[in-house]
């Protein structure tokens, strides 16, 4: 079983626009392609895990979430970079759409998305990393016994100013490029 890098989506690999309701709102950060290609070249699986409660709230559909991921993949492919898999949580306990309005185990900081990926791709969560711009991403890292890196993009700089009791990142860095550098220095390849 291999360590992996679990990346949050909004505010981490693409700009956080609130609910992404059109593929025209997709904007990769300028460093995203290079950063992900570095992980590819280091043979570390790259898995996106993203809360998409907009589905439960009736703001967007699962089809749009999946289309968004295809567009991101196309943009990455143009720069010879690759995301190995995407997992998203469409739920929210207070959702307006009945089939998604539930308490689930996959909404971050829960570990359900990571567990699905680990089972599908033979990954070792406890040797893995979670990168994200919210404390709940760091909470996910703690939940899987892995390491969490908070990026200051998206809402990360605001989160940094409002520390959460008991939620300590292993590193706080400016952006995904810096997170990848940190991970490549700290990954346990044994
Ligand atoms: Mg985010
Ligand atoms: Zn869920």
CA of 9 to the centre of ligand 1 (A): 6
Which tens digits make up the pLDDT trace of 90-124? 999 999 999 999 999 999 999 999 999 999 999 99
- Is 8 a residue of the active site? yes
Which tens digits make up the pLDDT trace of 120-156? 999 999 999 999 999 999 999 999 999 999 999 999 9
DSSP, residue by residue, 20-80 = --SGGG--B-TTHHHHHHHHHHTT--EEEEEE-TTTTTTSS-HHHHHHHHHHHHHHHHHTT
Q: Are 145 and 6 in contact (CB under 8 A)?
A: no
User: Tokens representing 128?
Assistant: 């893995």
Residues sharing a CB contact under 8 Å with residue 63, sequence separation 6 or more, in sequence order:
none
Which tens digits make up the pLDDT trace of 65-77? 999 999 999 999 9
CA of 43 to the centre of ligand 2 (A): 29
């Amino acid at each position: 079983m291999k360590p992996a890098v679990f990346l949050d989506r909004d505010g981490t690999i693409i700009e956080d626009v609130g609910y992404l309701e059109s593929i025209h709102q997709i904007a990769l950060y300028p460093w995203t392609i290079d950063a992900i290609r570095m992980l590819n070249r280091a043979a570390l699986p790259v898995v996106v895990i993203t809360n998409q409660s907009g589905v439960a709230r009736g703001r967007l559909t699962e089809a749009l979430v999946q289309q968004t991921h295809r567009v991101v993949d196309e943009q990455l492919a143009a720069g010879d970079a690759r995301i190995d898999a995407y997992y998203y949580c469409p739920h929210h306990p207070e959702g307006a759409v009945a089939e998604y309005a539930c308490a689930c185990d996959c909404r971050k900081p829960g570990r359900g998305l990571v567990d699905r990926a680990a089972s599908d791709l033979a990954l070792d969560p406890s040797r893995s990393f979670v990168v994200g711009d919210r404390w709940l991403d760091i909470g996910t890292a703690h939940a899987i016994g892995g390491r969490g890196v908070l990026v200051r993009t998206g809402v990360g700089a605001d989160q940094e100013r409002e520390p959460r009791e008991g939620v300590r990142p292993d590193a706080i860095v400016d952006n995904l490029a810096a997170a990848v550098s940190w991970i490549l220095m700290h990954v346990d390849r044994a």
